[in-house]
Chain A
Amino acid sequence: MTYAIEVRNVYREFKPPGGIVRSGRPVRAVDGVTFSLPAGDVLGVVGESGCGKSTLARLIMGLLPPTSGEILVDGRSLTGMDRRERARLIQPVFQDPFSSLNPRHRIRDIVGLPLASQGDIPKARQVDRVMEMLARVGISSEMAERMPGQLSGGQRQRVAIARALVLHPRIVVCDEPTSALDVSVQAQILNLLTELRRELGLTYLFISHNLAVVEHIATEVAVMYLGRIVEQAPAQDLFRTPAHPYTKALLSSVLTPDPALGIPDVGLGDAYPDPTNVPPGCRFHPRCPSAFAECAATMPDNIRKDGRLVECLLATTS
Chain B
Amino acid sequence: MTASLQDPVLSVANLRVSIGGRMEAVRGMSLAVARGETHCMVGESGCGKSISALSVMNLLPRGIIRTADHIRFQGQDLLAMSERQMSRLRGDKISMIFQEPMTSLNPAYTIGSQMSEVLERHRRATRRQAMDRAAELLARVGITAPGMRLGQYPHQLSGGLRQRVMIAMALMCDPELLIADEPTTALDVTVQAQILRLLQKLQQELGLALLLITHDLGVVARMAHRVSVMYAGEVVETGTVADVFAAPTHPYTRGLLDCIPVPGKTQTGEPLGNIPGVVPRIPPGFAGCGFRDRCMSAAPECAQAVPLRDAGGDHSYLCRLPPDWTRVSAA
Contacts and interface: CB of A to CB of B under 8 A. Distances in A.
Contact of B221 (A182, A256, A265): A256
A255 B219 contact: yes
A216 B269 CA distance: 6
B58 to A, nearest CB: 28
B44 interface: yes
B310 interface: no
Given A186-B259, A249-B190, A263 B278 contact: no
A314 to B, nearest CB: 19
Interface size class of B (residues with CB under 8 A): 35 or more
A190 interface: yes
Contacts of B271: 191, 194-195
B31 to A, nearest CB: 19
Interface centre among A182, A210, A261, A266 (most CB of B within 10 A): A182
B89 interface: no
A216 B266 contact: yes
A190 B259 CA distance: 10
A2 interface: no
Contact of B193 (A211, A236, A255, A259): A255
Interface string A263-296: 1111010101000000000000000000000000
B222 interface: yes
Contact of B260 (A49, A212, A266): A212
B185 to A, nearest CB: 10
A182 B274 contact: no
Contacts of B189: 48, 209-211, 250, 253-254
Contact of B259 (A154, A183, A235, A272): A183
A49 B194 contact: no
B235 interface: no
Contacts of B276: 188
Nearest to B252: A184
A297 interface: no
A268 B268 contact: no
B7 interface: no
A152 interface: yes
Contact of B261 (A215, A219, A272): A215
Interface in A187-208: 187-188, 190-191, 194-195
A130 B219 CA distance: 41
Given A263-B223, A266-B194, A268-B194, A184 B217 contact: no
Nearest to A216: B261
Contacts of A48: 188-191
A187 B258 CA distance: 9
B216 A209 contact: no
Contacts of B269: 194, 216-217
Interface in A3-43: none
A257 interface: yes
Contacts of A219: 268
A270 B259 contact: no
B5 to A, nearest CB: 19
Given A182-B44, A183-B259, A211-B263, A261 B222 contact: yes
Given A184-B256, A255-B221, A264-B193, A152 B188 contact: no
Contacts of A209: 188-189
A270 B142 contact: yes
A127 interface: no
Contacts of A236: 268
Contact of B190 (A184, A213, A268): A268
A242 to B, nearest CB: 11
Interface of A: 48-49, 152, 154-155, 182-188, 190-191, 194-195, 209-213, 215-219, 235-236, 239, 249-259, 261-266, 268, 270, 272
